[in-house]
Amino acid sequence: MGLRVLAVDDEADFIETLVKRFTYRQIPVTAAASGPEALARLDAEPFDVVILDMRMPGMDGLAVLREIKKRHPLVEVIILTGHASVEAGMQGMSLGAYDYVLKPVDFGELLEKAKKAHERKQLNEARSRQA
């Protein structure tokens, strides 16, 4: 099964370009401009990896992450932060995020991490099926 990505960021230009670049590489990607929208999308259709910005108006990244892990524990989350808080990144990791990346990010690196996250998800799924 191919990698399905949900990109969540309130920066429209950023998310738009991200969508274009994933699409260019034939990776299905959906954009969400806020936390609640992202959760709604996740409920509506399955995703493998969520690329989640930490700082967003309204519901912030950490809250979204908590919610995602509660509702869809198998979905992997890569935290994207433009903020000083490596601390926030670490906190995210402890909440179950797969990795965190500091903005501005090299697309290749992000793609690599997304692929690895997908692999882990598949592994976890296989394990949970066996159990």
Partner 1 sequence: MIQDELSKLRLKLIAITLAFSFIPLFSLGLGLYNRFYETYLDKVYESLSNLVENKKVTIDLYLSERVAQLSNLALTESYQDLSKEAYLEHIFGVLQMHSKSFLDLQVIDQNGICTAYVGPYQLKGIDYSREEWFHKVMARGIHVSDVFLGFRKYPHFNIAVSRREGDKTWVLRAAIDSDIFDSLVRSIHLGKTGDAFILASDHVLQTKPRFGHAMFDTLDFPNVPRFSGTRVESLAIEGQTSLYAMTWLNHKDWLLVVKDDPREEMLPIMRARWLLILLLAGGTLLIVGGAVWVAGGTVKALVRAEREKAALDASLTQSSKMAALGKLAAGVAHEVNNPLAIIMEKAGWMRDLLSEEDIKASPNFQEFEDAVSKIEFHVRRAKDVTHRLLGFARRMEPTQEDLDVNLLLDQTRSFLENEASFRGITFISDYQKDLPRIESDASQLQQVFLNIMDNAIDAIDKNGTITVATCHLPDTGEVDIAISDTGKGMTKEAQEKIFDPFFTTKKVGEGTGLGLTISYSIVEKLGGHIHVTSEEGKGTTFHITLPIAP
Per DSSP bridges, beta strands 99-102 and 29-32 are unpaired
Q: Hey, what amino acid is at 31?
A: A
Is position 109 an interface residue for partner 1 (rule: CB under 8 A)?
no
Compute the Cα dihedral for 95, 99, 104, 107 and give only its sign.
negative
Number of residues located near partner 1, criterion CB under 8 A:
22
Q: Decide: is 28 part of the binding site for partner 1 (CB under 8 A).
A: no
Residue 36 C-beta: closest distance to partner 1, Å: 21
Query: Residue 54: what residue type?
Result: M
Span from 13-21, 32-40, 44-52, 119-127 in contact with partner 1 (CB under 8 A): 13-21
| Residue of the chain from 103, 115, 116, 120 that contacts partner 1 (CB under 8 A) | 103
What are the CA-CA distances from residue 44 to residues 49, 61, 64 (Å)?
15, 20, 16
Q: Give the shortest CB-63-to-partner 1 separation in angstroms.
A: 19
Among the listed ranges 7-15, 28-36, 71-79, 121-129, the one in contact with partner 1 (CB under 8 A) is 7-15
